Structure 1
């Protein structure tokens, strides 16, 4: 790879230096924050020799390079002053900023919301099968376990919003608790010597005022927008208080005044105003949906997976939660099921038709991930979008299924991940039989259309997806200036090579790793480990060729390259919670310490600590096998077969 040429071509492809607000480098990719996204040519960047893929997510234009990203980034610093001087990251445009804001707040909550929603869906199915089960204490306990996260949503939002807005987290929790308090704890005299909540007192005709100003009481259970805006107000108030309160009183005075100001202001203005806005938005969508639910279902079903590509799908969460809190169900959300299942069906068809072993390996697990669990990123990025036609066929199938579900007037009663497992979340709403039919039609049609139109293309060969050779001659430039093919000298392999587990924990299939690029297999084959400890050790004897606090590239003496990447997006931690034990050029033996980190601190910071191990250069080995289950550090993990 000619690093200077790649750097120049990438910079040209993203719109030139003047279009780069800032760019960061992690272990495998360049993360651009662009001034004007329309000036970047994604298709052109993807064709640059040395670029593996381009992913747009969270307001970032991410160019995946692989192990040589450090060298390309170094050249980029030479040719672009903006890169060398740094900048101010962040997506441009109000819409992009709002999408990034909502995503950053809701992403850490998605899995617990999905798990709790699935539990409620299973309980609903159980009551339909056995109505007496709904009156049992067992049902009540399990329902409390599933429903609590929704009822006390402000508590969870306080944590993620405080991180996003850089507010004091403990004070944020106190503010959220005060809002919930108004609907849960009795403080006002009630009938027959009892006490009742402020909300119940207000609903019963009582006059609630603060310093003589009337208060319109709303319920803050399930409140999404009011809580988020309240924490934002806190984040703006705290710096002002810190500037005016003397140091000796600051630790006590800042939270005291923040609570005394933000809570009343929220009850007086923020809560009623944002609740009205949220209700208006939800009612508006319901009104449009009622005008033509079939057309609405077709549009949502056809385009939902497109929003995933642009990282906008989490932006729907506040709307769905608002609909669930006001109506008990979301018909709009019901149309999300067909596009998810259609992608799973299309991916399964590719699995059956393709002869490409690498694509088949990704497609097999990705189809299960989409159909059963509702996680479509591995299917989309690893399979259907790479071939393009299967993605289009799945969108067509999703639109048809969405139209059927729109006609059913059925939708989930909880925020779940749309999947085969969570179809029960819509039991008892509208025409449930028609809901099931729309979901089934989407999955089957996605499968059949893809099976009928599929055309094989070799996507995993070097000609289709450039790879970084471990041992190569210097490439000669072609007449067009691009790098020519590289001659790689590799030995004939006769024995397997074992790559050991770098950390103790539970194995996660690569397709299930929560990173679109890793999961697609574009960088290399391997798997992830959910770490049980914080010591990450060398999986092979090698030389360290890349050393970042969160990621380590290793090269064996015979050219095999292995990437150990600790956590997803942990580059944003800038080394916090990581204590590296090696530097570039260090020789390591299997089991030598690479880095010591704090998995819980990484989780608390809002990041997934799953440790991904990828073989990025096989140097003559044919395939990579993976162990499953629980492993201890040093156990056999990956096996490179001759």
Structure 2
């Protein structure tokens, strides 16, 4: 794909840069907030070289590209302008058209997307370390283990700082002041105030009773804090004279936001995040089989709508708080069911194009956990194959839920991330492999029988 030409053609077909109120990208998609979606010629966009599919859901106009999307996004950024890139500050009319739910999904996507490589790489490294310890190749007392362990856990410890930066880009606040606010929550002097009590310890600020929390590895508090800060920052930017902005704006921002976050926003965010995570985990504990069926079978539906990002913070919070998560394995079930569906098509169909597409999809998912090309290029165009994938994911997810399989890191479901299932109990890894095999085999068998020998790849 010629990224310069592709960017120009896409921009032309979606109504030009004047029709864009904001844009960002995730691992595989360009995501636009369009002022008027009727100006977008979806059929023409789908014909652009390199475009796999177009989805207009969750308040965003999403263009599926694949893992090379950052290169196309860079060209698009040059054409559209940095003021709209990575920021989705819309007018009131734009936000109204997008809807509250769409705005939430859009925010979650743009906040977490830049951190996915760091989270995925750290998760794999953490899994490998646990595997090496289990195999006796590495001692937990060794300097090598301690250094690599620190490397694998740093992204979670400093998550408030990283999320402060991405949240600032999303909400239109200063990134460096935002990072400073996040870092203040992790300063040793603040941590020392917790003493031996930890969360719930108290102190005072200007006579105001303050409940203290440990904010390392937290997700919700800093996002809420930077969202609030974005309004303060924009107001200060308007009222403070240019000659005083260099000193006064950051001074007022820090003096106001750090105490406000510690006294009000932080505790609300911590408790709110814990309530949400606890509710999800409670449902899993009460009916893990049902949870496995729903998530394992339905994850591809969420992916097809581009709203699976809403669940990622819960998984990240679970890993950061408890050191493990039960939802991640269900997403693996979905991915391996997708591999199985492609395998069933490969074994039955004789058409060269659809066989080649199936092989490419299987390899892509196995190595990088990217299922969108297969979902949009194969499953959504054949309802029987989509149902095969959903059933495979649901059956495998049910087994994973029944055996309480967990992941010790937030990773994406591929062969390269299997170490996330390594734990103190070897049965967790074994049951994970069985569950994923079930997903793959069930989906492959169903796909084989619903695929015609003369099945052809339906192209846009």
TM-score by length of 1: 0.58
1:320–1:415 Cα contact (<8 Å) kept: yes
Kindly state the Cα deviation for residue 142 of structure 1 after the two structures are TM-superposed. 1.2
**Structure 2 counterpart of 1:558:** none
Matched, 1:136 2:142: yes
2:435 is aligned with 1:438: yes
The 1:168/1:325 distance shift into structure 2, 3 A limit, reads same
1:375/1:206 CA distance change after superposition, 3 Å = closer
In structure 1, distance between residues paired with 2:309 and 2:201: 39
- Residue 572 of structure 1 corresponds to which residue in structure 2? none
Tell me by how many angstroms 1:435 deviates. Answer: 2.4
Aligned partners of 2:224, 2:255: CA distance in 1, in Å?
16
1:117 correspondence with 2:115: no
Q: Sort the Cα spacing of 1:366 and 1:204 in 2 relative to 1 into closer, same or farther, 3 A.
A: closer
Equivalent residue number for residue 381 of structure 1? 376
How far residue 47 of structure 1 moved from its aligned partner, in angstroms, is 12
Report the Cα distance in structure 1 between the residues aligned to 2:432 and 2:45, rounded to whole angstroms.
45
Matched, 1:420 2:446: no
Aligned pair in 2 of structure 1 residues 346, 264: CA closer, same or farther (>3 Å)? same
**1:211 matched to which residue of 2?**
206
Partner of 1:335: 330
Q: 1:97 to 1:342 in 2, by over 3 A?
A: same
CA distance in 2, matches of 1:436, 1:122: 16
Query: Helix, strand or coil for the counterpart of 1:418?
Result: coil
Query: What do the CA deviations read for 1:429-479 (whole angstroms, capped 9, x no partner)?
Result: 77513222111110122222211221244335xxx64xxxxxxxxxxxxxx
Match of 2:263 in 1: 268
- For residues 49-60 of structure 1, the aligned pairs below 5 Å read 53-56=53-56, 59-60=59-60
Superposed displacement of residue 382, structure 1: 2.2
Instruction: Note closer, same or farther for the CA distance 1:226–1:23 as it changes in structure 2 (3 Å cut).
Output: closer
Matches of 2:31 and 2:422, distance apart in 1: 45
The structural deviation recorded for 1:30 is 12
Kindly state the Cα deviation for residue 48 of structure 1 after the two structures are TM-superposed. Answer: 12
Match of residue 620 from structure 1: none
Q: What is the SS of the residue equivalent to 1:287?
A: helix
Q: Distance in 1 between matches of 2:418 and 2:295?
A: 17
Post-superposition offset of 1:178? 0.3
After superposition, residues 48-87 of structure 1 pair within 5 angstroms as 53-56=53-56, 59-61=59-61
Distance in 2 (CA, whole Å) between partners of 1:297 and 1:46 is 36
Please tell me whether residue 359 in structure 1 is matched to residue 354 in structure 2.
Answer: yes
- Return 111-120 or 343-352, whichever deviates more: 343-352
What pairs with 1:80-229 in structure 2 (closer than 5 Å)? 89-90=94-95, 92-130=98-136, 133-181=139-187, 185-186=188-189, 197-200=192-195, 203=198, 207-229=202-224
CA contact (8 A) 1:410 1:429 kept: no
Match of 1:208, SS? strand
| RMSD over aligned Cα atoms | 3.4
Distance 1:23 1:267, change over 3 A: closer
Q: Deviations over 1:543-582 (max 9, x none)?
A: xxxxxxxxxxxxxxxxxxxxxxxxxxxxxxxxxxxxxxxx
Give the Cα separation in 2 of the matches to 1:427 and 1:114: 16
Partner of 1:636: none
Answering whether residue 397 of structure 2 is matched by residue 402 of structure 1, we say yes
Relative distance call for 1:206 and 1:222 in structure 2 (3 A) is closer
Structure 2 contact 59–99 (Cα < 8 Å) conserved: no
SS of the counterpart of 2:306?
coil
Larger radius of gyration: 1
* Preserved CA contact (<8 Å) 1:34 1:60: no
Asked if 1:299 is matched to 2:294, the reply is yes
Conserved? CA contact 1:409–1:429, under 8 Å: no
Q: Map residues 446-465 of structure 1 onto 2, 5 A cutoff.
A: 446-455=443-452, 456-459=454-457, 465=460
Residue 496 of structure 1 aligns with which residue?
none
Write the distance in 2 (CA, Å) between the matches of 1:403 and 1:94.
Answer: 33
Aligned length: 405
SS of corresponding position for 2:56: strand
In structure 2, how many angstroms separate the alpha carbons of the residues matched to 1:197 and 1:47?
A: 59
Contact residue 198 and residue 214 of structure 2 kept, 8 A: no
Q: Deviations over 1:148-174 (max 9, x none)?
A: 011111121121111101101110111
Gaps of 5+ in 2: 1-17, 24-29, 65-89
Would you tell me which structure has more helix in proportion to its own residues? 2
Question: What is the CA–CA distance in structure 1 between the aligned matches of 2:400 and 2:253, rounded to whole Å?
Answer: 47
Q: Taking structure 2 as the reference length, what is the TM-score of the superposition?
A: 0.79
Which structure has more relative contact order (CA 8 Å, sep 6+)? It is: 2
Alpha-carbon displacement from aligned partner over 1:268-295 (angstroms, at most 9, x marks no partner): 0100011101101111111111111111
Q: Are the equivalent residues in 2 in contact too, given 1:334–1:410 (CA < 8 A)?
A: yes
In 2, Cα distance between the equivalents of 1:403 and 1:31?
36
SS at match of 1:413: coil
